[in-house]
Amino acid sequence: MPDIVQVTVNTKIMDLFRFMIFHAYSKVSGMVTLVFSIVSLFMLPVSIFVWKDNFVTLAFALLVVLYLIITPLNMLAQARRQVRSNPVFKNPITYHISEEILEVQQYTGTARLFWNQLIRVKKTPFDYLFYVNKEQAFVMPKTDVDKDDIVILDAIIEKVKAEVGTRVSLVNKENVKSRKDKREKVDVLEKQLMEIASKDGIPVEDKSETEE
């Protein structure tokens, strides 16, 4: 039977804030801005005490204040607003993860995604990020994952990384057998998920007709 990792997350302000910081500064434009801001921070005292150039000092100061202080504070405020006002973040989110699917159970319902439907999967020092598009991702803090499950989860991500983002069509003739095999594995997972849910006292409706 395939391994399934179950993780329940209660999204906190800092969880969303870390994602926003990572997302903003992992882009090329964000990295360039961050480098210039850090350089400006180190050059600011040089400009003040050595060069004594008011214009250059002001330019360095603006970069530091704007990108190293105001921008992160705005992100923190945005994260606070979303966690406090968005019902999705007010309720627990449960993930079931295997080599076949990523299932996300929210108060609004259940979403089941095959790995080729995800844009990107990223592991940071603090979180697992499952991107559903270029701007949005499911955030799973590592602190919510059991130590034993982290090993299994890392192995799953390593195995599926080549599939992530491919959006391979499963209706081509050459993929008919692959689709059949995947369907059989998902059926096995379906039974496992229902067993897990029954142990937790959560009613699970049969999704055997779910389309890929």
196 or 47: whose pLDDT is higher?
A: 47
CA atoms of 95 and 127, how far apart (whole Å): 14
What band does 1 get if pLDDT is binned at 50, 70 and 90? very low
Once rounded to an integer, what is the mean pLDDT over residues 190-206? 58
Q: At 161, list the tokens.
A: 């990384």
Place of tokens 């701007």: 135
Q: Which CATH class is domain 5-11+92-200?
A: mainly beta
For 101-116, what is each residue's pLDDT tens digit?
A: 999 999 889 999 999 9
Show me where the domains of the chain are located: 5-11+92-200, 14-87
Q: What is the DSSP letter of 124?
A: -
How do residues 19-36 score in pLDDT, each as one tens digit? Answer: 999 999 998 999 999 999
User: Model confidence over 70-128: pLDDT tens digits?
Assistant: 999 999 999 999 999 999 898 999 999 999 999 999 988 999 999 999 999 999 999 99
* For the chain, percent of residues with pLDDT exceeding 70: 78
* Closest residue by Cα to residue 145 from 161, 162, 160, 157: 157
Phi, psi of 204 (to 5 degrees): -125, 125
Averaged pLDDT, 147-176: 77
> How far, in Å, CA of 75 to CA of 63, rounded?
17
